[in-house]
Chain A
């Protein structure tokens, strides 16, 4: 394996190193310091760049098996690498659903074969996402895919008894249930956040309480049985208050927020363009402000993209007919810079914590999320925060084009991504 000398980067992590060099050899960071010798190593001039531990996404939809028209493991992981990710958790709502060892191992193998980043499959909580019978969680945990995160994402585990059982069951193998909080009865036919905009546009509302009520219930359940709950894509101010309260009690609750919920509000729906249709929906400016604060103070543990690719015909239609979801892997770090760093709410070590350290910890993912240190795995991302703000291109590595940021100027640029010492992205392009 080629050794790499990364010169003059600024490491984003605890105990700031100032401008420093990193030497990557044999898959680890063999040295950190200034004026390191470049003997036998390829040199990468990282002047002005920030070195982050490789980003970890707790929530991605790679669509394979079943919906390869929208995305494949190959194209999705390319997009991930370009976004600075070295590991992604692939959600289970594929066709067939990832509710058996067979499917999760297939996804795991496809990830290894593609080689752009590590793919950690997420197992479904219930068979077929039907919400009535537990899936073989233990077998998935024991499989080659080593599943630890289980989620019916796309659907809510609405039955309180089933949710309790699932939380209890995964204690046996240090698993975590990641809930897509959406009370199905309160959101039948829902299209958009219930509020002033939905009333004006004549679209059925998705009330905040449908998310908050489930989160409250699940926090209490997790506390009652002493098991780990992770809340997917928190979208309302009320939800953050509940999570803050649960954490104050010392309960084992973690939470994630998507980049789009940190930047966009339901106002963008006014032209009825379904590129902005997503589940949970975009909310109000007050919600966005509260989500940012919660991410800054750690109430929300991490940023997870919920990258949800869809083919054009699923989005080029009337709003009510369109699919829910937005892509996000390639723009995530730039959106976080715009929403959190450039606003002074979070510094780069904070970004490293929220986009790498904590997601890896929540996902129980060894080998990722380690702060950059000598001897640690050489998973890192080099990012240029000073790159001139450029309009996001609608075309990227993802197979799908449903990108809400297309045409919007965002700062920053992912320059390089290294996976165990091998570059997957160099100079902003796939290596």
Chain B
């Protein structure tokens, strides 16, 4: 029985398609006069954000409210956690408040797993350390399907679509979730990064690996740029931001070498000028703004499927 969404590996291809198709149905809500459905009325969704992330938190909040759920926002700054309260005690407090679902973002890998052991409600992982961010991967998959499949691609997977993910894979929860989810939907995923930013055992992942971005560009239908933190330079992951940008940054020249239909994605926030040039971010190929809108829709689908009935439905694989 699926009570939680903690890792993209929790989702079979059938589960992922169900979420995307549900999101497809919910997408039209944004065009209606009343942007609300009564389905989660009386349910309480808690946003438990230990890391600052206004965008993701607002996305989950909007998704829950559009389904008429009550939303409680908990941010770590200035809270009991800042005074040293443990994750376990915070979880027990939420239990006492009767949270039906807890959306958690935390800086420690595995925090969502631990929380799931302490609460009765559903746990949705909104990003735990460098482990996973499954709803990001879902909204990315949804965006890719809408852009590259005929008529929005209802019912279809991403079979044969070539996705290149570029950047700091080692520290990226977005990369981990996307590799798992996109490949289970049938996409061909390639990671492009310097060797220092790839996990040692990446050859066991369901994707290809390349150290050379330029060879991958002409064969990519989707290029997904990951944010690279400047602090990685001091830990000797790469010699300088300039060299990183030169070898792995997506500038206008590189963008021109993409196939005509190809799209550029970024989970945000962007370091304009480092991994992505400003003109690329603002170009017509960029889906960065749509990804945000699709985030609300996909998160609505996830919350509905987890909380709308007794449990997430069984899907024949």
A–B: direct contact at CB < 8 Å? yes
Chain A residues proximal to chain B, CB less than 8 Å: 194-196, 198-203, 205, 207, 271-272, 313, 316-321
Give bound CA distance, A321 to B110, whole Å: 11
- With A202-B128, A202-B130, A316-B86 as given contacts, are A195 and B200 in contact (CB-CB < 8 Å)? yes
| CB pair B176 A317 closer than 8 Å | no
| CB pair A195 B111 closer than 8 Å | no
- With A202-B128, A202-B131, A272-B114 as given contacts, are A318 and B106 in contact (CB-CB < 8 Å)? yes
Q: A271 to chain B: which residues have CB within 8 Å?
A: 113
Q: B176 to chain A: which residues have CB within 8 Å?
A: 200, 202
Q: For residue B109, which residue of chain A has the nearest CB?
A: A202
Chain B residues 41-100 with CB under 8 Å of chain A are: 86-88
| CB pair A317 B113 closer than 8 Å | no
| CB pair B200 A203 closer than 8 Å | no
- With A202-B131, A205-B200, A272-B114 as given contacts, are A316 and B88 in contact (CB-CB < 8 Å)? yes
Give bound CA distance, A167 to B58, whole Å: 60
Q: Considering the complex of A and B, which 9 residue pairs feature the smallest CB-CB distances, nearest first?
A: A272-B110, A202-B131, A199-B199, A318-B108, A202-B130, A202-B109, A196-B201, A272-B113, A320-B108
B129 within 8 A of A: yes
Give bound CA distance, A207 to B132, whole Å: 22
| CB pair A199 B202 closer than 8 Å | yes
| CB pair A313 B130 closer than 8 Å | no
Q: A320 to chain B: which residues have CB within 8 Å?
A: 108-110, 129
Q: A203 to chain B: which residues have CB within 8 Å?
A: 109-110, 129-131
- With A201-B131, A202-B130, A202-B173 as given contacts, are A319 and B200 in contact (CB-CB < 8 Å)? no
Chain B residues 106-162 with CB under 8 Å of chain A are: 106, 108-111, 113-114, 128-132
Give bound CA distance, A308 to B130, whole Å: 28
Give bound CA distance, A317 to B130, whole Å: 17
- With A203-B109, A272-B114 as given contacts, are A317 and B204 in contact (CB-CB < 8 Å)? no
9 contacts between A and B (CB under 8 A): A196-B201, A201-B110, A202-B110, A202-B130, A203-B130, A317-B87, A318-B110, A319-B109, A319-B114
Shortest Cβ gap from B229 to chain A (Å): 15
Q: For residue A270, which residue of chain B has the nearest CB?
A: B113
- Count class of interface residues, chain B: 20 to 34
Q: B131 to chain A: which residues have CB within 8 Å?
A: 201-203
Q: B111 to chain A: which residues have CB within 8 Å?
A: 318
Give bound CA distance, A196 to B205, whole Å: 9
- With A313-B86, A319-B108 as given contacts, are A202 and B129 in contact (CB-CB < 8 Å)? yes
Give bound CA distance, A317 to B176, whole Å: 23
Give bound CA distance, A219 to B47, whole Å: 54
Q: For residue B88, which residue of chain A has the nearest CB?
A: A316
Q: For residue B130, which residue of chain A has the nearest CB?
A: A202
Which of B109, B128, B130 has most chain A Cβ within 10 Å? B109
Give bound CA distance, A196 to B130, whole Å: 14
Give bound CA distance, A358 to B87, whole Å: 45
Give bound CA distance, A320 to B109, whole Å: 7
Q: For residue B6, which residue of chain A has the nearest CB?
A: A272
Q: For residue B86, which residue of chain A has the nearest CB?
A: A317
Shortest Cβ gap from B180 to chain A (Å): 9
Q: For residue B50, which residue of chain A has the nearest CB?
A: A318
Q: A201 to chain B: which residues have CB within 8 Å?
A: 109-110, 131
Shortest Cβ gap from A261 to chain B (Å): 20
Shortest Cβ gap from B317 to chain A (Å): 21
Give bound CA distance, A205 to B199, whole Å: 9
Which of A200, A203, A272, A318 has most chain B Cβ within 10 Å? A318
Given contacts A201-B109, A207-B200, A317-B114, 13 further A-B contacts (CB under 8 A): A194-B200, A198-B200, A199-B201, A199-B204, A202-B130, A203-B130, A271-B113, A318-B87, A318-B106, A318-B111, A318-B114, A319-B108, A320-B108
Q: B108 to chain A: which residues have CB within 8 Å?
A: 318-321
Shortest Cβ gap from B114 to chain A (Å): 6
Shortest Cβ gap from A205 to chain B (Å): 7
Shortest Cβ gap from B116 to chain A (Å): 10
Q: For residue B180, which residue of chain A has the nearest CB?
A: A200
Give bound CA distance, A195 to B204, whole Å: 10
Shortest Cβ gap from B132 to chain A (Å): 7
Give bound CA distance, A199 to B111, whole Å: 16
Give bound CA distance, A205 to B202, whole Å: 13
Q: B113 to chain A: which residues have CB within 8 Å?
A: 271-272
Binary contact readout B171-186 vs A (1 if CB under 8 angstroms, 0 otherwise):
0010010000000000
Give bound CA distance, A202 to B132, whole Å: 8
Give bound CA distance, A195 to B205, whole Å: 12
Shortest Cβ gap from B183 to chain A (Å): 14
Q: For residue A196, which residue of chain B has the nearest CB?
A: B201
Q: B88 to chain A: which residues have CB within 8 Å?
A: 316-317
Q: B200 to chain A: which residues have CB within 8 Å?
A: 194-195, 198-199, 205, 207
Shortest Cβ gap from B129 to chain A (Å): 6
Give bound CA distance, A313 to B88, whole Å: 9
Give bound CA distance, A414 to B109, whole Å: 39
